[in-house]
């Protein structure tokens, strides 16, 4: 038998390949667990459980999403019972005095019961439409009072949004909802804690045909039927003219696929663990060494923060003279430390200038620092567009009634004068969006303002 000699070059090549594969394995493992390659098990307590669990898009099955800590849970449904060919129709952002009745007529024609997730301020504005929904046998859910992004809100603000909406729906319909749909599908641990306290369940969706954007009926229908599954929860908007126009065709097409309709009675819930609030309150880093003290001392993280390897917690050191100078420089920039003080929900007076009304509220309530959000309708919306060439705002007036899509800003008192800075987006009758800085001349038709005041704790410029 002939024996073939293996050249040294091949041996070196094989050795390099094995090293590469071994390194790749470690790298993949450290990607899944970042603590592997650092040599430390670090738990940033101030961020524990703060990751957002955003609603995923179509065709995603329900998952048990859990935070890193906590004992209580909130039930979340992304689809209904998958045993039978049933789907659920849901409608967000109403009630609307024009399109909601049209949608109710179509549902009544097909003898279908749906669920309407209502915005609290719209329920207060159109209580008779909300009552009509319940009279016709449909379910109602809570969709916050101002349609806010929960990922950007405190727990207290979310609780207010939920409770104000609960009260509005109860007053209008006699029903207290137990179902909640977060605007945009976004929620974090602040929202979960609030919903746990309010004993509410989250309803998401598995199909979103983008009915508020799509213009063609074929596109909306295909977005639904192409992704149809057993237990699908379909998201519509009863504020959309497209939905009112094409819903009859959509229902017929779903029925032609031999599906029946269920009013979320068989929604499939999965529990999400809620991180406890006190777990996020301590600004410390807990360190559990996995390596020897000698190796830990060489860690860039340890060296950068001057952490003793034997220490269980670390606190920032006292400011050095350079840091004190930097803080003084920052104060010159007008940076202030503030703490939340009070919350106000104010019904805006009809026919008054919006900016002047906000100034009057700030003076009446003695608000030195604050932020606000506004919903409602206005006329003569006066919006400014900044031009860098001229270093000024070019103002434009929308000479018709418009719906406020978003309006938020700040309040600051300076030398006895209250300064209002706000950006606004409004939609006209052609669904054209106008956005920019808010200026005086914008007249309130109706609406409400949510204002949060702050108390300054800063030693900087006041």
Is 92 one of the catalytic residues?
A: yes
Listed as own residue / partner, the contacts of 132-135 with beta carbons closer than 8 Å and 24 or more positions apart are 132/95, 132/100, 132/101, 132/104, 133/94, 133/95, 133/100, 133/104, 133/173, 134/173, 134/174, 134/175
Is 51 one of the catalytic residues?
A: no
CB 402 within 8 A of CB 377: yes
β-bridge mates for residue 269, sequence order = 77
Q: Which residue in 147, 211, 237, 262 is the catalytic one?
A: 237
Separation between Cα atoms, residue 435 and residue 358, nearest integer Å:
19
Separation between Cα atoms, residue 48 and residue 100, nearest integer Å:
42
Listed as own residue / partner, the contacts of 390-394 with beta carbons closer than 8 Å and 24 or more positions apart are 393/436, 393/437, 393/439
| φ/ψ (deg, to 5) at 6 | -95, 125
Q: Which residue in 79, 92, 146, 262 is the catalytic one?
A: 92
Separation between Cα atoms, residue 357 and residue 444, nearest integer Å:
9
- Annotated catalytic residues are 92, 237
């Amino acid at each position: 038998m002939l024996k073939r000699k293996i050249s040294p070059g091949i041996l070196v090549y094989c050795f390099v390949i094995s090293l590469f594969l071994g390194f790749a394995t470690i790298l993949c493992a450290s990607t899944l667990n970042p603590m592997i390659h650092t040599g430390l098990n670090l738990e940033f307590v101030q961020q524990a459980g703060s990751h957002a669990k955003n609603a995923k898009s179509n065709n995603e099955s329900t998952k048990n999403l859990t935070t890193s800590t906590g004992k209580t849970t909130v039930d979340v449904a992304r689809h209904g019972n998958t045993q039978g060919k049933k789907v659920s129709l849901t409608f967000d952002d109403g009630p609307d005095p024009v399109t909601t009745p049209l949608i109710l007529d179509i549902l009544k024609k097909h003898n279908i019961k749906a669920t309407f997730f209502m915005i609290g301020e719209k329920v207060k504005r159109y209580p008779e439409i909300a009552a009509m929904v319940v009279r016709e046998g449909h379910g109602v859910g809570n969709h916050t009072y101002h349609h806010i992004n929960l990922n950007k809100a405190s727990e207290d603000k979310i609780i207010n949004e939920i409770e104000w909406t609960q009260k509005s729906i109860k007053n209008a319909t006699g029903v207290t909802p137990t179902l909640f749909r977060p605007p945009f599908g976004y929620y974090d641990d602040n929202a979960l804690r609030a919903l746990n306290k309010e004993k509410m369940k989250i309803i998401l969706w598995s199909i979103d045909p983008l009915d508020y954007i799509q213009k063609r009926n074929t596109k909306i229908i295909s977005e639904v039927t192409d992704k149809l599954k057993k237990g699908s929860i379909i998201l519509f908007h009863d504020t959309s003219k497209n939905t009112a126009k094409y819903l009859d065709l959509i229902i017929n097409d779903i029925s032609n696929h031999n599906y029946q309709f269920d009013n979320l009675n068989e929604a499939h819930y999965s529990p999400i663990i809620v991180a406890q609030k006190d777990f996020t309150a301590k600004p410390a880093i807990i360190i559990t060494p996995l390596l020897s003290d000698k190796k830990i001392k060489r860690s860039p993280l340890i060296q950068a923060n001057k952490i003793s390897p034997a220490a269980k917690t670390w606190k920032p050191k006292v400011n050095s003279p350079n840091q004190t100078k930097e803080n003084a420089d920052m104060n010159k920039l007008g940076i202030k430390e503030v703490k939340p003080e009070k919350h106000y929900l104010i019904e805006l007076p009809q026919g008054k200038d919006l900016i002047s009304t906000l100034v009057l509220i700030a003076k009446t309530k003695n608000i030195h620092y604050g932020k606000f959000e506004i919903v409602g309708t206005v006329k003569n919306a006066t919006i400014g567009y900044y031009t860098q060439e001229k270093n000024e705002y070019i103002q434009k007036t929308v000479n018709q009634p418009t719906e406020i899509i978003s309006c938020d800003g700040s309040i600051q008192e300076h030398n006895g004068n209250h300064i209002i800075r706000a950006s606004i987006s409004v939609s006209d009758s052609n669904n054209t969006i106008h956005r920019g800085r808010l200026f005086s001349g914008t007249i309130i038709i109706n609406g409400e303002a949510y204002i949060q005041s702050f108390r300054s704790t800063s030693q900087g410029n006041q």
